[in-house]
Amino acid sequence: MTTATATLAPKAFKSELKPIWCPGCGDFGVVQALYRALSAIGRPAHEIAFISGIGCSSRIPGYTTAYGFNSVHGRALPIAQGLKMARPELLVLAAGGDGDGFSIGGGHLPHAVRRNQNITYIVMDNQIYGLTKGQLSPTSPKGLKTVTSVDGSLENPVNPLMYVLTYGAPFVAQGTPADLPGLVEIIEAAIRYPGFAFVNVQSPCVTFGEPEQQIKTQKATMESLEGMGHDPGNLIEALDLSRAYGTTLHTGLFYRSPEPPPTFDSLVHERQQRMMADALPRERILEQFIQR
């Protein structure tokens, strides 16, 4: 059962717990955007479950009044999917960082995409492992010098946008706390989308991040996809634009499938209904095994 109330203020989703993120962290903007998006959605906190992995950003469920589970490294998606199967009526959100989602949890992402459950997955991508004090992450740019790459990284970064688009995600967007109104819109649209919605947020690490990744630089350099005239129904164009990940900060909706494919939960439900309709009544079950 769901309740839609348009009167829930953003504050209704803010918990008493005070964030311990470094002052200046991009994640403060992300959680603010989330409060506002949830307020616009209008479902009360007790109908929302928020699952995260491990990392700075994975603390985010605790800063909301939703039911939360700060789970195991890289395992936000499996837990969120299990929860959505068991309690399809809940609004299920998953969140984590780029290391959590694309490295240790990288194996789960394509399966979550192809399964297409009605879950919104928000990744706070800061291109670094911040909680453990600045090691290379899967999205760190090539050449980045860190304590684990003193002469610069030799690897190309993972491109999360292209990754999920090619696996067939029906909703793919990118935002930044440098554009709070835009981020609110993206998260709200993702939650409203009936299927797996992926939101990559370029949320800078103020302590170990690069100067050009910080909010002031993002404000000056970001490019709105809507402003460029991008049609979010055009998958080929979305894929082409996603190639600029790491060089140009595109914000907004890359792709939204114009015809949302059926979700895994709805297919399971449909199959359950069909099997129940064809099922023998309880008193006749033994007929399948005993010849009279």
Partner 1 sequence: MSPTKGFDFAGLGLKDALDLAVLIEEEARDRYLEFADQMELHHTPEAEGFFGYMARNEEKHRVALASRRTELFGDAPGTANRTMLFDVEAPDYDEVRAFMTPRQALESALRAEEKAHAFFAAALLEVRDASVRVLFEELCAEELEHQALVQGQIEQLPPDSGLDPADFADDPVGQ
Q: Do 4 and 43 touch, CB atoms closer than 8 A?
A: yes
Task: Pick between residue 224 and residue 266 the one whose CB is nearest to partner 1.
Answer: 224
Q: Does 44 bind partner 1 (CB under 8 A)?
A: no
Of 78, 115, 68, the C-alpha closest to 100 is 78
Q: What is the DSSP letter of 90?
A: S
Q: At closest approach, how far in Å is the CB of 135 from partner 1?
A: 6
User: What are the helix (H) ranges across the chain?
Assistant: 27-41, 76-86, 98-99, 109-115, 160-166, 180-192, 215-221, 235-242, 264-278
Using CA atoms, how far apart are residues 77 and 94, in angstroms rounded to an integer? 6
CB contact at 8 A, 108 and 77: yes
Query: Which member of 63, 208, 255, 264 binds partner 1 (CB under 8 A)?
Result: 208
Binding flag, residue 25, partner 1 (CB under 8 A) = yes
Nearest approach in angstroms of CB 203 to partner 1 is 11
Using CB under 8 A as the binding rule, whether residue 192 contacts partner 1 is answered as no
For residues 205 and 128, the answer to whether their CB atoms sit within 8 Å is: yes
Q: Check binding of 153 to partner 1 (CB under 8 A).
A: no
| Residue 216 lies near partner 1 (rule: CB under 8 A) | yes
22 touches partner 1 by CB under 8 A: yes
Residue placing its CB nearer to partner 1 in the complex, 34 or 77: 34
Closer residue to partner 1, CB minimum distance, 82 or 227: 227
Q: CB of 102: closest distance to partner 1 in angstroms?
A: 18
Of 253-272, which residues contact partner 1 (CB under 8 A)? none
Residue 161 binds partner 1 (CB under 8 A): no
Q: Segment contacting partner 1 (CB under 8 A): 27-35, 50-58, 194-202, 270-278?
A: 27-35
With respect to partner 1, which residue has the nearer C-beta, 18 or 284? 18
Asked whether position 174 contacts partner 1 by CB under 8 A, the answer is: no
Q: Considering the complex, state which of residue 25 and residue 49 has its C-beta at the smaller distance from partner 1.
A: 25
Q: How many chain residues interact with partner 1 (CB under 8 A)?
A: 36
Q: What are phi and psi of 28, to 5 degrees?
A: -60, -40
Q: Binder to partner 1 among 147, 279, 285, 286 (CB under 8 A)?
A: 147
Q: Which one of the spans 24-32, 86-94, 99-107, 278-286 is the region binding partner 1 (CB under 8 A)? A: 24-32
Q: Is there binding between residue 135 and partner 1 (CB under 8 A)?
A: yes
Sheet holding 250-256, edge to edge: 67-70, 48-52, 91-97, 119-125, 197-202, 171-175, 250-256, 223-224
How far apart CA 208 and CA 267 sit, in angstroms, is 44
Q: What stretches of the chain adopt beta strand conformation (E)?
A: 48-52, 67-70, 91-97, 119-125, 171-175, 197-202, 223-224, 250-256
Q: Is 229 in the site for partner 1 (CB under 8 A)?
A: no
Residues within the interface to partner 1 (CB under 8 A): 9-11, 18-20, 22-26, 28-29, 32, 36, 39-40, 132-135, 146-148, 177, 179-181, 184, 204, 206-208, 214-216
